[in-house]
Amino acid sequence: MNNLFFTQTGKGRALLLIHGFPMHSGVWGEFVERFKNSNLVVTPDLPGFGKSPILPAGFTISDVADSMLQFLSEQNIHNSVIIGHSLGGYVALSMIEKKPEIFSALGLFHSTAYADSAEKKTSRDKAMAFVEKNGAKAFATNFITPLFADPTHPAIEKVKQIAAGSPADAVIGYTRAMRDRTDHIKTLKSFKKPTLFLAGDKDPGIPLDTVHRQASECQYPEIHVLSGVAHMAMFERPEDSASKIKGFLDKI
């Protein structure tokens, strides 16, 4: 067993929500309550975040995906809808690449199938150097606010607290793994089931033109762009984003 920490609530088809970076399952908070009457909502902590033990040094996104697939097998979770937020989307894509048959649908929530650009890779390198010098808590303080369209949003402090608890080795390890991850456009092309793209029109990290290009590669795409939202729709527009996901689930 890989001893990943997770919470679950509700009943019905399994809905697997994978959190982003550098957070843990607590980031979903009350958001899961909107689905528990129709779905078994499962929210794990990725290895190294929250209460889950970290993988050996030098781990990749593929290694994280293997750990998550083992978790699903151990929990006897099949035919689930997997929705990944940001980093969680990278992990979800790798899981889909490895075992598409065990999922009924995929959702990319402020995420992308594209690999990092050269500019983004440089930014990752700077982030790792910052954490090595100043620690993960200082990094979280600077990293979280730009994820919100409104820099005074009341949820920012909550997310900062979640992120500040992440250990430096996990923050550095995942930053390196994200920098070096592979492109997954082929995964989108080959996936024969519904694929949801939930994006924000103010998201500085996921340009809308790239979302539409990715969707055009999918066999059964669905796109929703939320206005006035950056990278944290579960806080910025919880009712609207939950409604879009529910509508997607109803069509599966």
**Full domain range(s) for residue 215:** 6-116+182-250
- DSSP letter for 113, please: S
Compute and round to an integer the Cα radius of gyration of the chain.
Answer: 17
Q: 């994978």: which residue's tokens?
A: 18
Does the residue 226 lie in any domain? Answer: yes
73 contacts 102 by C-beta, under 8 angstroms: no
Rounded to whole angstroms, what are the CA distances from 5 to 75, 85, 238? 12, 18, 24
First to last CA, the chain: 31
173 contacts 21 by C-beta, under 8 angstroms: no
Does the residue 111 lie in any domain? Answer: yes
**What does each of the 252 residues of the chain score in pLDDT, given as a tens digit?**
679 999 999 999 999 999 999 999 999 999 999 999 999 999 999 999 999 999 999 999 999 999 999 999 999 999 999 999 999 999 999 999 999 999 999 999 999 999 999 999 999 999 999 999 999 999 988 999 999 999 999 999 999 999 999 999 999 999 999 999 999 999 999 999 999 999 999 999 999 999 999 999 999 999 999 999 999 999 999 999 999 999 999 999
Q: 């999922």: which residue's tokens?
A: 103
Q: How many CB atoms lie within 10 A of CB 56?
A: 8
Question: Is residue 22 reached through a cis peptide bond, with omega within 30 degrees of 0 on the bond before it?
Answer: yes
- Predicted pLDDT of residue 141: 82
Q: CA 25, CA 120: separation in Å to the nearest integer?
A: 25
Three-state SS for 80?
strand
Non-local CB neighbours of 234 within 8 Å, separated by 6+ positions: 27, 28, 29, 31, 85, 109, 241
Does the residue 101 lie in any domain? Answer: yes
Classify residue 187 as exposed, middle or buried by CB count within 10 Å of its CB (0-12, 13-18, 19+).
buried
Q: CA 69, CA 124: separation in Å to the nearest integer?
A: 26
- Predicted pLDDT of residue 2: 74
- Predicted pLDDT of residue 1: 61
At 233, which amino acid appears? A
Classify residue 3 as exposed, middle or buried by CB count within 10 Å of its CB (0-12, 13-18, 19+).
exposed
Does the residue 156 lie in any domain? Answer: no
Does the residue 73 lie in any domain? Answer: yes
166 contacts 140 by C-beta, under 8 angstroms: yes
Does the residue 155 lie in any domain? Answer: no
Q: 90, 78, 82: which is closest to 106 by C-alpha?
A: 82
Does the residue 160 lie in any domain? Answer: no
Is the pTM here over 0.85, yes or no?
yes
| CATH number of domain containing 33 | 3.40.50.1820
Non-local CB neighbours of 132 within 8 Å, separated by 6+ positions: 168, 172
Per the structure, the count of domains in the chain is: 1
- Predicted pLDDT of residue 80: 97
Does the residue 17 lie in any domain? Answer: yes
Q: CA 223, CA 107: separation in Å to the nearest integer?
A: 10
